[in-house]
Structure 1
C-alpha cells in the first residue's frame, strides 16, 4: 500500500499525486496515440465516440457530480452546439472559430437556463430542465431556415489551418486533443477556489452561503461551463455523424447522459469516461448477446431499454459510486491483501432526519 508523505501545499493540489499515476496516465496516453495503428476502423470510430461523450460527460459531471444540480435536459446543450457548428461551418466560418462560438452559444443558453432554475432544486430542477429539453427540441424542428427542421442538416468535413480532416484517424486525433484539454481544464478548475465552491454547494448550500459563497453566481457559472463542454461535444458529434436531426437530441439522449455519469461514478472525472465507455460498448455487448438468446427475447423491441434499466437499478442499489467506485474498492483490496477484512466497504446505515431526533 502506498503512503505519501506531504511536506508542502503544492503536493496536495498537484495533478499527479505520485510517480505511479504519472506512469499509468502516460501509458494510457501512449495507447491512445497508437490506437489508429492497433485497432480496426470500426473500433476506432467507437473510441472517437467515447472521447466525444467523455467531453459531454465532463460537463454534466461538473454540474451534477460536483455542484449537485440535477439536469434532465442536457441533450439540449448538445444539440445547441451541434446546430451552431453546422450553421457556422456552413456559412464559411473556420472550424476553430466555429467550435469556440458553438461552445459560447451553448454557454449563453446554459446561463439562460441556470438563472430561472436558481430557486429550484432536486426533482423540481430536473422537471424544469426536462421542460427546457422539450422546448429546444421543438425549436430545432420548427426553425427550418437554420436547422433544416425534421429533414435534418448535413455537415461537411472540418477544415483546420487549411487542411481538410477527411479520414477517421485525423478526426480521432482532433477529438483526442480536445478531450485531453477538456480534462486538464476541469481538473484545474476543481483545484481552484471556483471548483471548491462548486463542491461546497453540492455538500450543503446553507453552509456554503454562510462561508460567503454566492450561490446564484456559482450555480449559473456551473450551468454555463457544463453547457459549453456539451456544446464542444455536440460540435464534434455533428462532424462525426455528418448529419443531425432534432430527434437525436431528445429526452432519450438526456437520459443516456444521466445514465452515463451515474454508472461511471458521480463526483469523479474518471467516471465521465468510464460511463462513456459503458454507453458506447453496451449496445455492442447486447448485439452479441442476442445471438445466444431465445428469439422471443432477442427480437423484443425494448431489450436495450430493459438492460439499461436493470443495470442502473443495480448500480444505484449496490454500487452508488459507480464503476470508478468499484475500481477504487478493487484497488484497495489488492493493496491490503492478505489483510483485507470482510465488510470493510459496507455502507453505514442511513437515517431519516426525523429518526435522528428520537
Structure 2
C-alpha cells in the first residue's frame, strides 16, 4: 500500500499525486497515440466516438457531478454546436474559428437555459431542460433554410490551414488532442476557486452562499461551460458522421449522456471516460450476444433499451458510485490483501439534508 508524505502545499493540487500516476497515464498516452497502427479501422472509429462522447460527458459531469444541476436536454447543446459549426464551415469559415463559434453559441444558449436554474432545482429543473430539448429539436426541424429540416445536412470534411482531415487517422488525432485539452482544462478548473465554488454549491447551497459564493453567477457559469463543451462535441460528432439531422439530438441522446456519467461515476473525471467506454461498448456486446440468446429474446426490438435499464437499476441499487467507485474498492482490496476486514465496503446510511440539522 502506498503512503504519500506531503511536504509542500503544491502537492495537494498536483495533477500527478505520485510517480505511479505518471507511469500509468504515460503508458495510456502511448497506447492512444499508437492506436491507429494496432487497431482496425472499425475499432478506431469506435474509439473516436468514445473521445467525442467523453468531451460531452465532461461538460455534463461539470454540471451534474460537480455543481449538482441535472439536465435532461443536454443533447440540444450538441445539436446547437453541430448545426452552428456545419453552417459556418459550409460558408467557408476556417475550421478552428467555426469550432470556437460553435462552442460560444452553445455556451450562450446554455446561459439562457441556466436562468431557470436560479429559481428551480431537482425535478423541476429536469423538466425545464427537457422542455428546452424538445424546443431545440423542433427549431432544427422547422428552420429548413439553415438546418435543412428533417432532410438533414451534409457536413464537409474538416480542414486546418489547407490540410484535410478526411482520413480516419487524422480525425482521430484531432479528437484526441481536443479531448486532452478539455480534460486538462476541466482538472485545472476544479483546482481553481471557480471549481471549488461549484462543488460547494453541489454539497450545500446555503453553506456556499454563507461563504460568499454568488449562486446565480456560478450556476449560470456552470451551464455555460457545460454547454460549450457539448457544442465542441457536437461539432466533432457532425464531422465524424458527415451528416446530421434533428432526430440525432433527441431525448434519447440526452438520456444516453446522463446514463453515461451515472454509470461511469458521478463526481469523477475518470468516470466520464469509463462511462463513454460503456456507452460505446454496450451496443457491441449486445450485438455479439444476440446469437447466443433464444430467437424470441435476441430478435426483440427493445432488447438494447431493456439491457440499459437493467444495468442502470443494478448500478443504482448496488454500486451508486459507478464504475470508478467499483474500481476504487477493487484497488483498495488489492492493496490491503490479505489484511482487509469484512464489511469494509458496506454502504453507509445516508441522511437527507434536513436530517443533518436534527
- CA shift, 1:116, in A, is 2.4
CA deviations 1:313-349 (Å, max 9, x no partner) are 1001100000000000011111111111111011112
Task: Report the aligned-residue RMSD.
Answer: 1.1
User: Match of 2:293?
Assistant: 293
For structure 1, the 5+ residue unaligned runs are none
CA-to-partner distance for each residue in 1:212-234, whole Å, 9 max, x for gaps? Answer: 00000000000000000000000
Tell me the distance in 1 between the aligned counterparts of 2:127 and 2:65. 18
Deviation, structure 1 residue 117? 2.4
Counterparts of 1:328-347 in structure 2, within 5 Å, are: 328-347=328-347
Aligned to 2:180: 180
Equivalent residue, structure 2, for 1:311: 311
Partner of residue 132, structure 1? 132
- What is the CA–CA distance in structure 1 between the aligned matches of 2:212 and 2:275, rounded to whole Å? 34
Determine helix, strand or coil for the equivalent of 1:3.
coil
1:115 aligns with 2:120: no
CA distance in 1, matches of 2:355, 2:44: 53
In the TM superposition, residue 194 of structure 1 has moved relative to its aligned partner by 0.1
Q: How many residues align?
A: 358
| Per-residue Cα deviation, 1:171-201 (whole angstroms, up to 9, x for no partner) | 0000000000000000000000000000000
TM-score (norm 2): 0.98
Q: Secondary structure at the match of 2:110?
A: helix
2:68 corresponds to 1:68 = yes
SS at match of 1:115: helix
Shift in Å, 1:20: 0.3
1:304–1:218 distance in 2 versus 1, CA, 3 Å: same
SS in structure 2 opposite 1:68? coil
Question: 1:46 matched to which residue of 2?
Answer: 46
Q: Which moved more, 1:342-351 or 1:316-325?
A: 342-351
Task: Give the C-alpha shift of residue 298 in structure 1.
Answer: 0.8
Which consecutive residues of structure 2, in runs of 5 or more, have no partner in the other structure?
none
SS of corresponding position for 2:5: coil
8 Å contact from structure 2 (residues 116, 128) kept in 1: no
Relative distance call for 1:130 and 1:6 in structure 2 (3 A) is: same
2:344 maps to 1:348? no
Match of 1:246 in 2: 246
Q: TM-score, structure 1 length as denominator?
A: 0.98
CA distance in 1, matches of 2:304, 2:152: 25
User: Aligned runs of 1:220-235 on 2, under 5 Å?
Assistant: 220-235=220-235
2:278 counterpart residue number:
278
Q: CA deviation at 1:353?
A: 6.6
Per the alignment, do residues 356 and 109 of structure 1 end up closer, same or farther by CA in structure 2, a change over 3 Å counting?
closer
Q: 1:99 to 1:346 in 2, by over 3 A?
A: same
- C-alpha displacement at 1:350, in angstroms? 2.9
After superposition, where does 1:185-200 map in structure 2 within 5 Å?
A: 185-200=185-200
